Structure 1
């Protein structure tokens, strides 16, 4: 027994003591390799691939193989010169069977795997055949230990999607720098792109316009006044000067407007300062033509006037660009197959409307086929012409869609109005019990009164149908109803047909405009007394002492915008967009914001006014009013004390919700309306001590 113990001790010493001068011993585990597996270790090996002590490696069967036997987890153990993976054994063994045939064929698909054997882990990828789209399943199938896995790809015939135009691109550069050229913009049929049996976009994919029409430099040119400059593109006069002033139609000075000689409209020679002033050296006093350009305004031409032998002056009034505004919307109509129909659209803007487009069910109609402008006429209608129509007015300032109009085309007059009357049971006196029904109810028939399609004659091409047709009685008879000791005569409808009935596009707009003075204990109404009600710049009514207004208009529009102004300055001038219905009389309550007390400002100083109406909360924003930025009606800078009244509609304050003016929508470049989010609205009024209005200048 002693000998055995001694041997054990001796062996232990040998294992744990490095021999002097012996070869280097790796204190790492040799990497393990098991066929058809993947390895993931929590510590990195050295350059030779050996792992340090306590490394944990996890083994998995590669894709397409399954575990047969063995452990998947090994830990590296190092003790002196000994190192081993624990637990011991042959390690993970995987089974990888071959797929001896391709995946079963699936209809309406294409793929590369059609013949032969496929090793475990091979993936076959499939696509839908041309004209088909995926509606389910998987694109790939995996040979998984001799079996194909993955759901069959399911493809169905591609639905018919009509193409629609994407937004117009930007105008390309002019093809010449002078002398008159052409520039182009394009659009693509990708919104959406047509697919299946869907129709392609109709209309022109490109537009052109003239550009750079000024004369090219001519060094042989002889100037009537002055001398030709070195660039041969303008006549100048040494020692002469032009003083100019630029303002808008309100006579408010415009800063940052660029000035060009009309002979050189591609090269800016000056710009206006904060007061709208500019100067040009070398401009001949006898008169020069200039072009003024500013973002948001029309390019404006003007000729200078001579002041004396060497100086001239010019005052330029610029008009703001106004995107298209729809004045007349198309009207919904009903027709019988074979009749004609006309839809009308009218708009204004600055610049004027350059073109109209018509759409049916969201797709533009081919102008070459329908030959339309602001009116669209379709003759010899068919049932297929039924749908939703609207126009789009286009100008260089943008585009605007009209309201939608519905066209219902019936196959015949019987379709729009059934000859058989509807049931309409009336109650007879209690002693008039009818034998056939054993009740006092008696069916006298009715035709419903719904709109139907009649014969408009030549008026079927009018913008607004001047006649209305309803389903009305065309045949009646008088029947005798017997009661207890007496009888009654009852008129019964026996046949219905389409007949004329009263129709008008006249609407009575009425209501009341007032403000609400809220205190801790009560709310008091403040009526708009004798205030103008304004539509399209024209006064259509004056409110009464109690704020009541009433007027009539001829319109087919679904909305109107009205402005309410308080001449007594108790309420803030407000604009409301009112939605119209089919009713001939519409009643509205217009709640206006109370005008806040004015504060006194000095026009020569920078002023800041806080914007916010929620007590205890920080202002939502600040209004900065620069020094010397207020101007009189004559366009002169005002100096002195100013009475400023600034009201703010705070989106954080529920009491302000009903005071929101206008409509929170914007129009994109294609004319589509988009809903906006508001961060508040404010209204500003500035007056002199004498009550004369002032304008905030510049921008």
Structure 2
């Protein structure tokens, strides 16, 4: 009879669907069919006898109930599974992953055969989300294709016998019907047979000490007593902790008392028995029994706070060819350490039995259907966490890994190089989109590929651009291929200052975890080279002088390389107050004058204790600093990124109602103190949104991960705290031990993304987008009239712009467009970018968002109502786009589930814009290079930066004496290298900056190409640099130390033209004494910024944004003022065809000059002829002779004297001749204004002869 009962029970067990954790594997549906005749010992599980007018598909589960709900839409299923779904299903069946029919769950669900199935979280009961559903469809007969030759899979191995030892039980095996037609699946899908378990044996456990217990799973020593004392972090006792004996099954022995102590008799001190001690919110303690011959022993242990798993290694993006192998790696840390890893492909769980819950996923003999998105989920007793999603690309054997045709990329040309063909100042040089490609790999299967391959430029073509009177060479990309990626380094720079008055945190420490990685300088600046394997940069800033609250920040950075600058704002620590440890103390939390506190801290008497757990009874110095979100100016001082990880491992945002930092110390010794049983009383009137009240929680910050972890819930206070108290409070309990920063937060799921792009100018060209810009968003509480706090911020986020802009997360609402609003601002290297104006002009084309959606978003720049306010931010209402609205489906606001659409949106899609104020600088490189993206570096002899990891910036300081600011150009050519001599590296233009104290003086810091090794590291090139001021200028002086250096380091460039200066750039990094400023860094923008700051300051180690014209100068030019309408000297020299030095004839020049004069306005009024008039009237005569002979005593533009010298063949001049030339110069300056230039030589010849 017992055997029959056992058999019946085992048969019922076959109906149970086993679910691993909360995940479900997708497999073929199991159909129950009619049993067939078997031997008496074989039992068949019947298949479904229901006859359906068609055939069922497999079960599908393509979505999970996170976000807005669970969507199993038919169009999405058809996209992923193609012909596995028929065109017109007849019926739909939905079940949870626990195999409960959808109609039995009590949840609100929707479904139809034509649209699929969906469940919305917002339609469920408060606090409940949708279950995870799986669906299948009934299709008409013959509409699904199946393989008739393979109807059934192979039988699985027999399971273990279900009975205990010495009894009869059942063992089973299963198979799957592979056909899609129900009529073909008429046989059994599962069968069982009777089995006899092994005979029971006597206990074989042997004990070297003591005796075996009755359960035969442990050794017991009756005369031994174990004493234990368990404490919490910070030294306090750990009451209520459970003590387990780890045997075949864990056995609970006892719990700790109120003082954290316990006693367990009967254990054996054999050095092998293991105890496990557990307590909620703490990592389990594993203790091995000490080995001793005594009758008792004492153990002491301290709990460590349990920490949710935290991803420290995300799977990397990889590309392979079909047939190759790949490994994707994921690593998480936590307390306790994660012990299981689950892998997902396109949101579908891969079979854990095949991959053994390992952190390394190895895929061999890849097929193209294995391409797609992968991520892992790490799990421990403390929770779970999901990694970032990565992309695996699998291409065919004969497929090209990169598109060989470059995409369009426009570069801006100089101001005198207008292109009639394109009717613009832009030229298309092409570029190859940088992405991972399937290149050559060795046979090793590694987490990180030994060689990283990217699509890049493999062949260029040299072309000449026709400009105004000259040609400009450039290299154009003509072919792309898969090649080794350029080596890069990610850098974070920043400045740490006080949030209230900008006081820098001087000489503070910067920590990454427990390691000190940097230190701030006198001005609060810091630089950090980010380790290559860093996934999330979490830094803690510690003020050694204790003026500021220790601040933990999660800083976004560019993983592709380059430097990102961050402004770090810190709260000033509150002045301490004195508390009596033996009395109850109340501390208000609120910083807005005239407003009630947001909350209060209640510290009961006798709550303080020392680090060793000893109670403290003296005076306490307490400093409690509160970050009040009702003060919008404090938003940038918010710590971390206000995120937490939920039970499913997804990262969710928090919306804060205030943060507070506590510091308790012994007034006498300044020893840090802990506090237990602290109560937080939150004023419920400060929580305007009713749904937030039950969701309010108390959180603490994990400084290692930058994530917030739950401390406890809030509950309504059952009675008023005093007779006059009319407010209702939410009460939360907490202990202040190792963590000192706490948060009053509510999880928020209504999220969207804002598309923002940053540009170099107001032209808003896609090719002029800037990468590495820090774009920040401040989430504001709903406006007045909606159910939440007016004029308060709830969250602060920052994102780094990439080649396609940035997508900023923000709260949104689809019911009330005005419910949420945000401020958006952007900065680059500490410089704030401007937003597009909204008043007096309101141009949707400039803003980047079409109507009528723009009106719905209520775009307003910060100066909309007051023009005196800065123009560096804008405010919009966060109206979530309606799915059925065409004008709202193309940005700039995207639903949270459409992140990929936001990231991949083309430049033509709607977006918001910031731009740099167009400066007075212009850079042109013969070999195009984007300084925002170091990976765009190309191997070429004419590359401005010869090494991708070593960027050397060189500047020369030029002083201009004259009434106007002048544009100065450096023309940089190869000087001594055989591959580059005479070829152009690039051009740099800059406008001089007016001196504040001297009205007729300005200076320019002009970049030039440094001398040094080229990319092949074979030999040095001394760059030939020409410094050319624009205007009527002549060189007045050269820094004596620079001149001496150049003379002593041959070859020496010829300087015959006093309107410019030519040199072979020095190889050595000269300093301010030479007027040369050189800085080398791993980021080009950083190197240029530091060198420019030193040049402005005129020192080799300082920095300034104010030009100091009289210090550290290399060259001085005297420049005269040009008349309106005159062509500048710089423009004229560019438009004048080059002449051979041997060509001295002037025939045919006079008519040309007359024609030129006529084109400039014909006859002039009479008057004195100035130096610039003579220059422009006569500068087309023999310039070489003028520079060689006359430059010591006359201005170079006195070309009438040159013509006279040329006609008289004057070569050797004595002293009297020089005196005659001086007087001749004075005579020429007095000539009437309408005198023809060709008559001047005759007059001067007569004067000279006399």
| Residue aligned with 1:457, SS | coil
TM-superposition CA deviations, 1:514-562 (whole Å, max 9, x none): 2223xxxxxx123222222111221111222322221112245553221
Would you say the 8 A contact 2:315–2:329 is kept in 1?
A: yes
After TM superposition, the structure 1 = structure 2 runs for residues 2-401 of structure 1, keeping only pairs within 5 Å, are: 156-157=88-89, 191-196=132-137, 244-259=228-243, 266-267=251-252, 269-273=254-258, 275-277=259-261, 292-297=277-282, 298-301=284-287, 313-369=298-354, 373-401=358-386
Distance 1:265 1:609 in 2: 45
User: 2:492: which partner in 1?
Assistant: 509
Pick one of 485, 498, 504 that aligns with 2:482.
498
Distance 1:687 1:235 in 2: 47
Residues 255, 590 of structure 1: CA spacing in aligned structure 2 closer, same or farther, 3 A cutoff? farther
Would you say the 8 A contact 2:245–2:275 is kept in 1?
A: yes
After TM superposition, the structure 1 = structure 2 runs for residues 249-648 of structure 1, keeping only pairs within 5 Å, are: 249-259=233-243, 266-267=251-252, 269-273=254-258, 275-277=259-261, 292-297=277-282, 298-301=284-287, 313-369=298-354, 373-411=358-396, 414=400, 416-419=402-405, 445-451=429-435, 453-458=437-442, 461-476=445-460, 493-504=477-488, 506-517=489-500, 524-555=501-532, 559-582=536-559, 583-648=561-626
Residues 482, 573 of structure 1: CA spacing in aligned structure 2 closer, same or farther, 3 A cutoff? closer
Would you say the 8 A contact 2:377–2:387 is kept in 1?
A: yes
Distance 1:260 1:483 in 2: 85
Distance 1:634 1:496 in 2: 66
Distance 2:243 2:334 in 1: 25
Would you say the 8 A contact 1:270–1:280 is kept in 2?
A: no
| Residue aligned with 1:527, SS | coil
| Residue aligned with 2:309, SS | strand
TM-superposition CA deviations, 1:390-417 (whole Å, max 9, x none): 1111112221111111223344553622
Residues 637, 490 of structure 1: CA spacing in aligned structure 2 closer, same or farther, 3 A cutoff? closer
User: How far has the Cα of 1:312 moved from its partner?
Assistant: 6.0
Would you say the 8 A contact 1:302–1:316 is kept in 2?
A: no
User: How far has the Cα of 1:451 moved from its partner?
Assistant: 2.6
Would you say the 8 A contact 2:492–2:557 is kept in 1?
A: no
User: How far has the Cα of 1:502 moved from its partner?
Assistant: 0.5
- The structure richer in strand per residue is 1
Would you say the 8 A contact 2:499–2:634 is kept in 1?
A: no
| Residue aligned with 2:332, SS | strand
User: How far has the Cα of 1:346 moved from its partner?
Assistant: 0.9
User: How far has the Cα of 1:441 moved from its partner?
Assistant: 9.1
Residues 156, 300 of structure 1: CA spacing in aligned structure 2 closer, same or farther, 3 A cutoff? same
Distance 2:619 2:524 in 1: 33
Would you say the 8 A contact 1:413–1:498 is kept in 2?
A: no
User: How far has the Cα of 1:622 moved from its partner?
Assistant: 2.3
Residues 166, 579 of structure 1: CA spacing in aligned structure 2 closer, same or farther, 3 A cutoff? farther
Residues 246, 455 of structure 1: CA spacing in aligned structure 2 closer, same or farther, 3 A cutoff? same
Distance 1:286 1:468 in 2: 54
User: How far has the Cα of 1:253 moved from its partner?
Assistant: 2.7
Residues 501, 351 of structure 1: CA spacing in aligned structure 2 closer, same or farther, 3 A cutoff? closer
Distance 2:512 2:670 in 1: 26
Would you say the 8 A contact 1:340–1:379 is kept in 2?
A: yes
TM-score norm. by structure 1 comes to: 0.59
Residues 459, 537 of structure 1: CA spacing in aligned structure 2 closer, same or farther, 3 A cutoff? farther
| Residue aligned with 2:442, SS | helix
Structure 1 residues 592-601 or 689-698, which shifts more? 689-698
| Residue aligned with 1:559, SS | coil
Pick one of 670, 681, 689 that aligns with 1:691.
670
The alignment's C-alpha RMSD in Å is: 5.0
Distance 1:606 1:666 in 2: 33
- The structure richer in helix per residue is 2
| Residue aligned with 1:414, SS | coil
> Which one has a bigger Cα radius of gyration?
1
Would you say the 8 A contact 2:401–2:482 is kept in 1?
A: no
User: How far has the Cα of 1:388 moved from its partner?
Assistant: 1.6
User: How far has the Cα of 1:193 moved from its partner?
Assistant: 0.6
Distance 1:438 1:612 in 2: 61
Would you say the 8 A contact 1:459–1:465 is kept in 2?
A: no
Distance 1:166 1:550 in 2: 53
Residues 602, 360 of structure 1: CA spacing in aligned structure 2 closer, same or farther, 3 A cutoff? same
Would you say the 8 A contact 2:253–2:264 is kept in 1?
A: no
Would you say the 8 A contact 1:341–1:460 is kept in 2?
A: no
User: How far has the Cα of 1:223 moved from its partner?
Assistant: 12
User: How far has the Cα of 1:344 moved from its partner?
Assistant: 1.3
Structure 1 residues 344-353 or 551-560, which shifts more? 551-560
Residues 407, 225 of structure 1: CA spacing in aligned structure 2 closer, same or farther, 3 A cutoff? closer
Distance 1:283 1:321 in 2: 28
User: How far has the Cα of 1:468 moved from its partner?
Assistant: 4.2
Distance 1:134 1:382 in 2: 27
Q: Which runs of 5+ in 2 are unaligned?
A: 1-51, 58-71, 75-86, 100-129, 139-143, 145-202, 678-734, 736-1250
User: How far has the Cα of 1:293 moved from its partner?
Assistant: 3.1
Would you say the 8 A contact 2:327–2:447 is kept in 1?
A: yes
User: How far has the Cα of 1:486 moved from its partner?
Assistant: 8.9
TM-superposition CA deviations, 1:545-589 (whole Å, max 9, x none): 322221112245553221122221111112122233344322222
Residues 248, 610 of structure 1: CA spacing in aligned structure 2 closer, same or farther, 3 A cutoff? same
Pick one of 655, 671, 674 that aligns with 2:633.
655
Would you say the 8 A contact 1:596–1:646 is kept in 2?
A: yes
| Residue aligned with 2:499, SS | strand
User: How far has the Cα of 1:445 moved from its partner?
Assistant: 5.0
Matched length: 502
| Residue aligned with 1:609, SS | strand
Distance 2:244 2:476 in 1: 82
Would you say the 8 A contact 1:244–1:313 is kept in 2?
A: yes
| Residue aligned with 2:503, SS | strand
Would you say the 8 A contact 1:426–1:442 is kept in 2?
A: yes
Distance 1:162 1:443 in 2: 58
Distance 1:544 1:667 in 2: 35
User: 1:204: which partner in 2?
Assistant: none
Residues 272, 594 of structure 1: CA spacing in aligned structure 2 closer, same or farther, 3 A cutoff? farther
Residues 221, 358 of structure 1: CA spacing in aligned structure 2 closer, same or farther, 3 A cutoff? closer
Would you say the 8 A contact 2:645–2:651 is kept in 1?
A: yes
Distance 2:319 2:502 in 1: 46
Distance 2:300 2:278 in 1: 14
Q: Which runs of 5+ in 1 are unaligned?
A: 1-126, 136-154, 168-188, 199-217, 518-523
Structure 1 residues 480-489 or 674-683, which shifts more? 480-489
Q: Which has the higher contact order (CA 8 A, sep 6+)?
A: 1
Distance 2:246 2:463 in 1: 87
Residues 421, 315 of structure 1: CA spacing in aligned structure 2 closer, same or farther, 3 A cutoff? closer
User: How far has the Cα of 1:329 moved from its partner?
Assistant: 0.9
